[in-house]
């Protein structure tokens, strides 16, 4: 079995601690060590400690010289929509001219235009488009990336999207967590007359879900729960059924308008509630008292030109577990740059650099239900690490827009090298 010894790091940010999301004040402690070495045995972290004693303990380990730089857990990007066809740059100008995101959707743009586009493409074509995109996401420091379907909205096109994710997983060393988002929007063919939306919900539950579950193509089910998209009652119905079929659940909640999405997520015991740009005071309290991770996506609010951001401080101060993610997608967050999201976490959400890093590692892992094995540099954890051209962890959010990641390892194997 391959043994590795990471030596000569200026700092090792371990995020070590309990194998669950960090809540409230716990998020301030990123487990910073100076002058520590990290031993890897096979796929797992074996030990963290003094370099000389680890050399004696692991005499046959291949040494990796960190060159006085920063070592962190590989980032965990817990929310992306990476399976899509064409870019949607025309909508950016429409929003600048005062046409809102929901209005663009009502006119058949937005998610609908990505759906028409994805349906016209073959699985091979989608794979060829997604492969370099996911590689690029990984090049910014992620070793685990959640990827959603959601631009198919028919049995055939959702299965096609999820099969692309399965093929990407075979082709790439980064870990992918597949999510079925058949409930991303009511497709145009189910919008008239209004009663047809009910048929779409039944189609999701009775036809799409069993097929997705049978083929074991997804770990999670997700719903875009938002006024004008899926109601809280519909969301509950879809996610209850999904859980019944063996999938874990998460939801897009209170993204643009407060409507009880966070409360519903807490009530359902969802693994995460994502967006929360318009969460209510009651929603904050509900998440703080639940195990549901509050996943914030500040790149989306920035790109949509919204003047407000999710209340990260209020969530953390109330005792919630907050994660950060890119929300990489063609409509609202076309960025590959996860460290830039950490910049927004500090500058816009008023998190500390340590909180932002915890939000992008251990809490990202918790948002994907894998915090017992992933997101920490601690004995027994998956040897997923990132090496950065920085000597202080606060440089990750500081050099905004830069790509400081020099390489990542997943399960002890090189995952992405620059």
Residues in contact with Fe ion by CB under 5 A are 327
Q: Where are the alpha helices (DSSP H) in 180-231?
A: 196-203, 209-214
For ligand NIG, the closer CB: 300 or 408? 300
Neighbours of 68 (CB within 10 A): 10
Least distance CB 218 / ligand NIG (angstroms): 17
Residue 73's closest CA among 168, 148, 162, 175?
175
In angstroms, give the least distance from the CB of 274 to Fe ion.
Answer: 6
Cβ nearer to ligand NIG, comparing 10 with 94: 94
CB of 1 to ligand NIG, least distance (A): 40
Smallest gap from Cβ 154 to Fe ion, in A, equals: 20
Q: Tell which residue, 9, 13, 14, has the closest CA to residue 69.
A: 9
Nearest distance, CB of residue 5 and ligand NIG, angstroms: 40
22 interface partner picked from ligand NIG, Fe ion, none, CB below 5 to 8 A per type: none
Which does residue 133 bind out of ligand NIG, Fe ion, none, counting CB within 5 to 8 angstroms by kind? Answer: none
Q: Which does 14 bind (CB under 5 to 8 A by kind): Fe ion, ligand NIG, none?
A: none
SS3 call for 332: coil
Nearer to ligand NIG, 329 or 363 (CB): 329
Q: Which is nearer to ligand NIG, 271 or 332 (CB)?
A: 332
CB hemisphere CA count around 239 (13 angstroms): 31
With tokens 């690490």, the residue in question is 385
Of these partners, Fe ion, ligand NIG, none, which one is at the site of residue 114 (CB under 5 to 8 Å by kind)?
ligand NIG
- Indicate the residue among 5 and 359 with the shorter CB distance to ligand NIG: 359
Q: Where do contacts with ligand NIG occur on this chain (CB under 6 A)?
A: 81, 110-111, 114, 224, 252, 255, 300, 327, 329-332
Residue 324 and residue 359 in contact, taking contact as beta carbons nearer than 8 Å: yes
| Residue 149 or 361 with smaller CB distance to ligand NIG | 149
Alpha-carbon torsion angle 336, 342, 348, 353, nearest 10: -170
Q: Are 333 and 341 in contact (CB under 8 A)?
A: no
3-state secondary structure string across 146-159: EEECCCCCCHHHHH
- Residue of 330, 231, 221, 333 lying closest to 275 (CA atoms): 333
Q: How far is the CB of 79 from Fe ion (least distance, A)?
A: 6
């Amino acid at each position: 079995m391959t043994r590795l010894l990471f030596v000569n790091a200026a700092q090792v940010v371990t995020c070590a601690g309990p194998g669950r999301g960090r809540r409230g004040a716990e998020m301030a402690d990123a487990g910073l060590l100076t002058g520590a070495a990290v031993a890897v045995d096979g796929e797992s972290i074996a030990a963290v400690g003094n370099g000389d004693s680890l050399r004696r303990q692991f005499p046959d380990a291949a040494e990796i010289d960190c060159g006085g730089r920063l070592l962190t857990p590989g980032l965990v990007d817990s929310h992306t929509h990476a399976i899509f066809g064409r870019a949607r740059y025309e909508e950016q100008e429409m929003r600048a001219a005062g046409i809102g995101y929901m209005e663009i959707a009502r006119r058949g743009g937005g998610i609908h235009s990505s759906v028409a586009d994805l349906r016209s493409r073959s699985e091979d074509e989608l794979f060829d488009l997604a492969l370099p995109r996911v590689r690029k996401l990984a090049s910014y420091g992620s070793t685990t990336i959640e990827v959603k379907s959601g631009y198919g909205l028919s049995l055939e096109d959702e299965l096609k999207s999820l099969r692309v994710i399965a093929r990407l997983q075979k082709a790439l060393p980064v870990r992918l967590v597949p999510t079925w988002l058949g409930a991303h929007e009511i497709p145009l063919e189910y919008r008239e007359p209004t009663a047809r939306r009910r048929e779409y919900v039944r189609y999701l539950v009775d036809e799409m879900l069993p097929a997705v579950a049978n083929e074991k193509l997804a770990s999670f089910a997700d719903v875009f729960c938002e006024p004008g998209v899926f109601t809280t009652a519909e969301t509950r119905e879809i996610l209850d059924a999904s859980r019944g079929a063996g999938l874990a659940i998460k939801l897009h909640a209170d993204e643009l308008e407060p409507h009880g999405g966070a409360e519903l997520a807490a009530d359902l015991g969802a693994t995460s509630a994502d967006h929360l740009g318009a969460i209510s005071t009651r929603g904050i309290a509900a998440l703080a008292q639940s195990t549901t991770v509050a996943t914030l996506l500040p790149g989306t609010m920035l790109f949509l030109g919204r003047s407000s951001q999710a209340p990260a401080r209020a969530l953390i101060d109330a005792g919630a577990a907050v994660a950060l993610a890119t929300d990489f997608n063609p409509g609202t967050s076309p960025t590959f740059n996860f460290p830039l999201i950490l910049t927004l976490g500090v500058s816009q959400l008023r998190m500390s650099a340590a909180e932002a890093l915890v939000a992008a590692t251990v809490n990202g892992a918790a948002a994907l239900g894998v915090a017992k094995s992933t997101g920490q540099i601690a004995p027994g954890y998956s040897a997923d690490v990132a090496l950065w051209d920085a000597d202080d962890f606060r440089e990750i959010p500081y050099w905004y827009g830069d790509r400081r990641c020099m390489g990542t390892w997943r399960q002890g194997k090189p995952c992405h090298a620059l």
